[in-house]
Structures are given as structure tokens and as C-alpha cells.
Amino acid sequence: MSRPRIVIVGAGFAGYRTARTLSRLTRHQADITLLNPTDYFLYLPLLPQVAAGILEPRRVSVSLSGTLPHVRLVLGEADGIDLDGHTVHYSGPEGEEGTLPFDRLVLAAGSVNKLLPVPGVAEHAHGFRGLPEALYLRDHVTRQVELAAAAKDRAECAARCTFVVVGAGYTGTEVAAHGAMYTDAQVRRHPMRTGMRPRWMLLDVAPRVLPEMDERLSRTAGRVLRQRGVDVRMGTSVKEATHDGVLLTDGSTVDTRTLVWCVGVRPDPLVESLGLPLERGRLLVDSHLRVPGRPEVFACGDVAAVPDLNQPGQYTPMTAQHAWRHGKVCAQNVAASLGVGRRRAYRHRDMGFVVDLGGAKAAANPLGLPMSGPAAGAVTRGYHLAAMPGNRVRVAADWLLDAVLPRQAVQLGLVRSWSVPLESASPEVARVPGRPERARRAGTGTGTGERDAVDPGAERAGEERSEEQPPGGPSRDRPSGEPAKNQPGGEPARNQPGGEPAKNHPHAEPREEQPHGSRSGSARASGTPRRAAETAGPPARGTRKPRKTSGTSGATRSANPAAPSGPTRSADGPADPGPEPPADQPPPGPDIAPGPVKRTDGRAAEGDS
């Protein structure tokens, strides 16, 4: 008799804990397969320390194959799930496609960045959900401080050393706290103009910092931030973002080259294609984390709306603590469905929260006891060491070295701006040339368009709001997040549907293109995998590469909700969205859009504009 096949989608807090616990419970009595786009489990709470140069990236990356020896790891992203056929369709990192049959399925795909309808944010902001984004932010902040120190113009110096963080939840607060310490250390070694110093701003529409925590801890965090010179503005957010700065909701303008978007996350869009009941984008499950009507399907973590038995009528919040505990209970119930052990309902006890504010400062309330100062810092770091499934000695060694040695502030340039777009479907994987883009994870909502007020400060690690990206949200399909240089008419290059037609193009034809990072509206509804058209190399000369017609993307929609999906069209006829750079073109610099490919035979090459 063949062994039961268990497929786990996602290796975040919930998926990793499920795989590890199942491996121990089944004792080789089941075939466990873990599908994940990377070969590591990322310990997200320490990611701000990677951006601040305290920890090296591999310290917060725990090897899946090294710590899950009895689990088969498959690198890829789930494109669709056929529940009736009991198969998961996926795309590998090099464009290959495959299917995974299952007898038990665990959905733990996690969450993606949540965009709000703020003009310019998708083009000029970066999120903070994965290692590539953290590495990019460290390089970018280092570069801006160095350029500010060398700038001759005082206004340019001030703009380059101004850093704006939107969202005063856990992530945004820690990014601002660690970032201020990092840039202050840089300035001591790279003196700038007299009286100039790095300026960090933390914005949120909430009335206080860390509104999901105890008010005393919120006051502690706000006090530490202000002591470090962080400009904390509550009740304020971004109204519009441009290349040179941001316009705030209070009417003021801030000149800056850095906008960090930490306003929150939404469940992975994978669950939307299943046709199962949802609660604010999360898959409804019972207290045993099983999907009603589908006894072979379980869900946990950020994609699951798990009933909170301690608060009837409520659901457990989207936090790492809950996801980690979900994973253990889910594994026990999956094993029980196979006849191993007994199933149990998920019930939690609030153990408190910790927020690392850098140095010896932190805010914590372990077991409901509010703490601040060095004592809270010791508790916070002790908690992280105990919670990490690996690399504890290396993390502790980096903390010790940071206490006695200066930080290495260098920009390696390994991650470019266009590699980590805000609307990226997979923030844990940097975009690279030549790799086919997948249409599954858009990272933006489909929205209702009924928001009365913009609420970018919605990162509540304990709660997920129901608002999603409404129609008319900005698109970011160009590899670089900044306007292209030397474009005809001075307009930024745009490849999204409905963009400006290519000027002086001898063979401009209307065509519909699939935006990078968006997901086809029909590729997932049928439960079949998306077949990538870009798996091969660049097209032959003189030919136009065929493109698939996409459905409505959550990131690029008409401003009119009633308008038909697909590329927008003007009254005079179809608009050419413009050419795309060929696949064999080398990647551009961090802040320069790709230019056209020149030919020597006198004909226009594909990509010339």
C-alpha cells in the first residue's frame, strides 16, 4: 500500500512548523512535500536588523533542506490548485512547470504587500517583506548618505538624507528605529554640511505608534523614536509620491529620495482562485484548521481565517506568533486524519509582544508585564533566540560584534531598484533578467473602490483590514521605479496596458500585454496552471514575440470601476503600450531605465522607441 502524500504550500512560520511537526509525527509513514519559492525559512522579525547592517542575511535564513531532512523540497510557486483532481500546479524558478499530487493539502502561502490607491506609490516606494528588499534598502540608504555628503547643493543634500517610512506598526517602527541609528553612525564617519543630519519620518493615520499594543508600550516606543530624532507624525500619511518627494495628507511637501512602504499585508491571492468561502481575503476554516466541505484540505497562517475560541465571533490576527502555533496544531490534525494521534482545536494564550528598537532599547510586555529600556531589550533578544529554529549562535555572535565593532556601511549593489518593485508577487524573490514572470501573485487587491479616506497606516500585525486595491491603482511594470532618462517628450517609459503609445515607432501595433507581477484573471479560476510564453530566449530578429492576453490585473485597472478589463483605449483608437526591452538586454543600473537596443543594419530593432 502506497504511503499518503502530503503537500504543504509555503514555508513561512506556519508552513515550516507544519512540515517540521509532521515529519516528527508521521515517522516516515507519509511522503511530505514542501513547495516554496526559496530554499530557506525567513525569520521576519529580525529583518530590520539586516537592513541596518547588524545581522548578515544568512543569519535570518534557516535552510529548509538542512533542518527538514525527511521532507522533500520543491522550489517553485503554486500557480493553481485542482481540488477535485487533488493536484497542485506550480512554476519553477527557471520557468519549468509541474504538478504535485496530494492526499492531504496544507495551504500556508502567507501574505503579500498591500497597495493602497495612492498615486505614485507603486512607482517610487519599496516594501519590506523579504531579504531582497532589506538588502536593497541597506544599499539605498548607504548610497543616499554618501551622495548627500558629496552634494554641493544644500537642498539636494537635505532631500537625500531624508527617509520617509509609512506605517507605524511593528515593521515600520522597527525600520525607523534601526534606520536612524544606522544613518547616524554613517554621518559620524562621513561628515555632511554644517547643521545637516539624517532625518527619518514615521507616518501613520493611527493616533499613536504601535496602536495594537498596550498604550504604555506605545508611549515607550514613541519616546525612544523621538529621542533619536525621528519625526513621528500620527494622523498623517502620503497623499502622492513623486521621484523628488512626497505630498502629505496635511498639505505639506517633503523632499526625499526614499519612501519605505510598511502599511500592511494581505493574504496571498492564491486562495481567491479556489472558489471557497473567504473572510476578508482569508480562507475560512474551522477550529481544527480544516476547510469545510474539503476534509483533505487544511489552511493555516495568514491565508486562514481561524476562529478565535477565546473571543467568539472573532478570528485570530495575522501575526507570526499565531502562524507558528497554527503550524503545530495543523500538523497534529493532518496526522490525526491519517490515523496518527488525535486532533485538537486551535486555542491560544496571549504571551505578549516584543518590539526591538535597536541598541539596548525595546518595548515588551511578556505575560502582560510592560517593560522598557535595557531589561526589555534583553527579553526581546532572548525571545528571538529562543524562537529561531536555527542559527542562534551566529545571531548571538553578530549581536556581540555589533556591540564592540563599528558597522560596515558599504553598498554592494547586488539588488537593484527594479528587482524589488512594491507590487512584486513574491517579495522573497528578487526579479532577475531572463526569468519568466508569473501571473499568480499580484500583491495588490482587487478592491471595491469604496474607500472614503486613504489609510496607509493599516499595518496591524494583529488585524487585517478588508479594503483592497481599488480600481485605478498605480502600476509599476517598468523595471526601474524612477522616470526613464532621454525618453521622447520627457515622459517616463511605461509598459503597462493603456500607457503612452511609442513615439516614432515604425511598426507600432496595438497589442495587449501581461504586466509584470500581475495575475491573469482566468489562469487560476479554472484551477489549471499558467503556461508561460516567455520561457524561451529573445525573439528572432524582425519578428514580434507573441503575447498572451491577460485578464484584469489588481495593480492596473481603469479608474472607472464599470470600465471593461484589459488595456485602456482612447477615443481615437487603441493605444500602443510601447515596446519592452528584449530578454537578452543586460540589466540597467539601480536608478536608470533600460534604453533601446541599437542595430547596425539600419532597421529598427524590437525595443527601439
For residue 83, pLDDT beyond 80: yes
Question: Which SS3 state, helix, strand or coil, does residue 160 take?
Answer: helix
For residue range 435-454, list pLDDT tens digits in order. 655 544 433 333 333 323 33
Query: What does the pLDDT read at residue 158?
Result: 92
Query: What does the pLDDT read at residue 193?
Result: 64
Distance CA 417, CA 415 (A): 7
Query: What does the pLDDT read at residue 473?
Result: 38
For residue range 259-311, list pLDDT tens digits in order. 999 998 889 989 999 999 999 999 999 999 999 999 999 999 999 999 999 88
For residue 6, pLDDT beyond 60: yes
Query: What does the pLDDT read at residue 195?
Result: 64
Reading the block at residue 408, the C-alpha cell is: 560596515
Reading the block at residue 207, the C-alpha cell is: 493616533
Query: What does the pLDDT read at residue 436?
Result: 55
Least confident segment among 190-194, 212-216, 454-458: 454-458
For the CA atoms of 159, 160, 166, 172, the dihedral, rounded to the nearest 10 degrees, stands at -140
DSSP 48-96: HHHHTTSS-GGGGEEEHHHH-TTSEEEE-EEEEEETTTTEEEEE-TTS-
Q: Which residue in the block uniquely carries the three cell numbers 509620491?
A: 241
Least confident segment among 337-346, 381-390, 437-446: 437-446
- The pTM (predicted TM-score) of the whole model is 0.72
Beta bridge partners of 87: 82, 101
Burial class of residue 175, CB neighbours in 10 A (0-12, 13-18, 19+):
buried
More confident residue, 263 or 556: 263
More confident residue, 104 or 418: 104
Confidence of residue 216 (pLDDT cuts 50, 70, 90): confident
Reading the block at residue 346, the C-alpha cell is: 486551535
- Chain mean position to CA 202: 19
Share of the chain above pLDDT 70, in %: 69
Task: Please state, rounded to an integer, the average pLDDT across all residues of the chain.
Answer: 77
Helix %, strand %, coil % for the chain, to 5?
25, 20, 55
How would you write 536-549 as a 3-class SS string?
CCCCCCCCCCCCCC
How many Å is the maximal CA-CA distance in the chain? 78
Beta bridge partners of 291: 294
Query: What does the pLDDT read at residue 438?
Result: 53
For residue 184, pLDDT beyond 60: yes
Residue partners of 382: CB distance under 8 A and separation at least 6: none
Confidence of residue 425 (pLDDT cuts 50, 70, 90): low
In the chain, the amino acid numbered 480 is: S
For residue range 504-533, list pLDDT tens digits in order. 443 434 333 333 333 333 333 333 333 333
DSSP 215-283: HHHHHHHHHHHHHTT-EEEETB-EEEE-SSEEEETTS-EEE-SEEEE-S-EEE-GGGGGG---EETTEE
Sheet with 304-305, strands from edge to edge, namely: 278-279, 282-284, 304-305
Confidence of residue 133 (pLDDT cuts 50, 70, 90): very high
Query: What does the pLDDT read at residue 304?
Result: 96
Query: What does the pLDDT read at residue 85?
Result: 95
